[in-house]
Chains A and B, each alone.
Chain A
């Protein structure tokens, strides 16, 4: 589904990703862990198409296409979803209005009929029920005055509505209390299917108690320096990122 080969990316002249390789297949959940400044969020930005980055070398292929040539809104419509680390407030725009626009733009792209107001409301109710999210949220303006937990729940809710093929969750767990964390994790698990994939970017192992990854990668200084199964996350938690640093020095 997603193949990243030898990717180097710089931001304002500073090299952040240095020859990164990653392969994500359908049905898989990948966790990318790493200390602050290792390039985790830059990776999410590359995949979603933010334009402040410079691609120095390498390739990114998504569903057989060169992802780097596709504009960000088309990436979304083709099934890439980014759960933002810092969801943005859009005052005066209700979540209902925002998401109905998003879904109907996607449907237009897929040559499907737009959803009517009633159909969309029904879909929203359905998803709210599955995720156990209060209906009050959807009448509010996008992220405006939301608590940290509400913002992240809202990201998961949007993900559920858009049903992405590839979801990138950028530190969705940061700043959440345990209840909000469970709602988020529960959402990710419920939306997990054989034909989609999730990349969870996180600093802590905590989320991975609830979302069990198939693969764990350690991102350090712009490169994936270690990959393994879910036990790698536990090992990291126990030994800390210094352990990686130490082991890198030895080699």
Chain B
């Protein structure tokens, strides 16, 4: 039996990364390394307003004084920040009326990724702002959205067209001083997305952006800012895959969300970057700072994430519940396989009265991977009568993987209630045999059991994403065994 298990566990590693291909598109690169000149190069290349140079340089100078954090339950070789190319843009500046004008190789890449642009997306009711490396290539649906006053564009375009909005909101939720990677991002970020939903407007479609790392040895520094004005609603989807590369690729993104009074923002992520090979060579280093603020009363923000990729995940989508009666939610499925390491979770900072937060985290560890949940629930003095419910479950496949939970709870008033539940389980031999006896082979059985386990979170995803995520969970755990 043990022998059998080992054989199956070994087989896991033979499953190749489905999206490991590399597209050769001429890129406009910055020289390797990071100095104030690099920052100026990026600023000039992007033709940004003056305040941006000031912001970037301040961030850079601050970053130089900071140390890379070491508290997470992850291990990796030191990153040489001078050995990274900080800017790469597709050379052909894309301004297309229709898809026929787009570089066919680029479209081919998107097709391989199964990104249905234009017509297919319209049918599905999704507008796409596709980010290829650092520059936004094409944006659809802009017209329909702009009629409602919604702004959905690349960050660069927003800097040209709406500098006042960016100046007002950028770095208000995640200041450049926040942490090492946030400072780095603030200094060198190249592009990303900007969403603005005006007062009282319900965004009629799901907004989605596909990020993709492409040029070899290029760090990807994305920045997303979502602002929901009073009484507005938006659901935003982010999904990513990356081509197979042998070097480690650094990714340090920032996402900021601002929800004003009575506004609601749903942010869903499916993350499937290249996890590296079975020996832990290569793969994306994913150091992300995501934070939202429910700024005024009755605002609501939900994070939903399905994390299956990256060699290293360091990510804590957090919420500041500042207004009274605000609601924060965090729903997460994190899968690690082979040598992957994930240290992920959330922070719920309650400062408004009667604020509510829910955390549901489902970790799945297979192979020799390590999967940690790290979460903070803080009830400040002012956050009277607030509540948090946290549920952190871990599922282990095989006997070489690790699951860890690091909950931090800080309650500073007497009327708030914090509940924390945690479980650790394994897929049992009996469950597997029950499936086998019904003619369902081991792979399908694991897919079924894992999807069942993660159902509470998958249900929170928008429909089209949920189906994709279900497949992704099964594929990520192909040929693994409990």
Contact = CB atoms under 8 A, between A and B. Distances in A.
B123 interface: no
Contacts of A109: 439
Contacts of B434: 84, 87-88, 90
B13 interface: no
Contacts of B430: 88
Given A51-B1, A51-B4, A88-B431, A102 B452 contact: no
A158 B440 CA distance: 13
Contacts of A49: 436-437
B426 to A, nearest CB: 13
A105 interface: yes
Given A92-B452, A93-B451, A105-B444, A98 B4 contact: no
A161 B451 CA distance: 23
A212 B454 CA distance: 44
Interface stretch (A15-23, A69-77, A127-135): A69-77
B448 interface: yes
Interface string B427-439: 0101101111111
B89 to A, nearest CB: 44
B135 to A, nearest CB: 41
A162 interface: yes
Size category, B interface: 20 to 34
A200 to B, nearest CB: 17
Interface in A87-102: 87-93, 97-99, 101-102
A97 B433 CA distance: 17
A90 B436 CA distance: 13
B441 A97 contact: no
A72 B444 contact: no
Contact of A101 (B1, B442, B448, B453): B448
A76 B1 CA distance: 20
Contact of B441 (A91, A105, A158): A105
B438 A162 contact: yes
B379 to A, nearest CB: 31
B238 interface: no
A72 B456 contact: no
B438 A158 contact: yes
The binding surface of chain B is classed by DSSP as helix
A77 B434 CA distance: 13
B183 to A, nearest CB: 41
A162 B440 CA distance: 12
Residue among B438, B453, B455 with the highest chain A CB neighbour number at 10 A: B438
Interface residues of A, number: 32
A71 B437 CA distance: 10
Given A90-B431, A92-B454, A97 B448 contact: yes
B440 A73 contact: yes
A196 interface: no
Contact of A76 (B431, B436, B451): B436
B1 A92 contact: no
Contact of A93 (B428, B433, B452): B452
Residue among B1, B439, B444, B451 with the highest chain A CB neighbour number at 10 A: B439
B449 interface: yes
Interface in A33-54: 48-52
A203 interface: no
Contacts of B454: 92
Residue among A49, A74, A82, A90 with the highest chain B CB neighbour number at 10 A: A90
Interface string B17-39: 00000000000000000000000
A136 B453 CA distance: 21
Interface in B306-348: none
Interface in B444-466: 444, 448-449, 451-456
A105 B439 contact: yes
A143 to B, nearest CB: 9
A158 B442 CA distance: 19
Contacts of B448: 90, 93, 97-98, 101
A153 interface: no
A174 to B, nearest CB: 17
Given A88-B431, A90-B431, A92-B452, A105 B437 contact: no
Contacts of B4: 51
Residue among A71, A97, A98 with the highest chain B CB neighbour number at 10 A: A98
A50 B433 contact: yes
A101 B449 contact: no
A241 B3 CA distance: 40
Interface string A220-243: 000000000000000000000000
Contact of B452 (A71, A82, A87, A91): A91
B439 A90 contact: no
Nearest to B4: A51
Nearest to B458: A92
B77 to A, nearest CB: 38
A106 interface: yes
Contacts of B442: 73
Given A52-B1, A90-B452, A101-B448, A72 B440 contact: no
A102 B441 CA distance: 9
Contact of A102 (B1, B438, B453, B456): B438
Nearest to B433: A50
B207 to A, nearest CB: 29
A3 interface: no
Contact of B437 (A72, A97, A99): A72
A186 interface: no
Contacts of A61: none
Nearest to B434: A88
A93 B4 CA distance: 26
Given A88-B431, A90-B431, A73 B439 contact: yes
17 contacts: A50-B433, A51-B4, A72-B433, A73-B437, A73-B439, A87-B434, A90-B448, A90-B452, A92-B454, A98-B435, A98-B440, A101-B448, A102-B439, A102-B440, A105-B440, A109-B439, A162-B438
Interface of B: 1, 4, 428, 430-431, 433-442, 444, 448-449, 451-456
Interface of A: 48-52, 71-74, 76-77, 81-82, 84, 87-93, 97-99, 101-102, 105-106, 109, 141, 158, 162
- What 5 A-B pairs are tightest by C-beta distance, nearest first? A92-B452, A93-B452, A76-B439, A92-B455, A102-B438
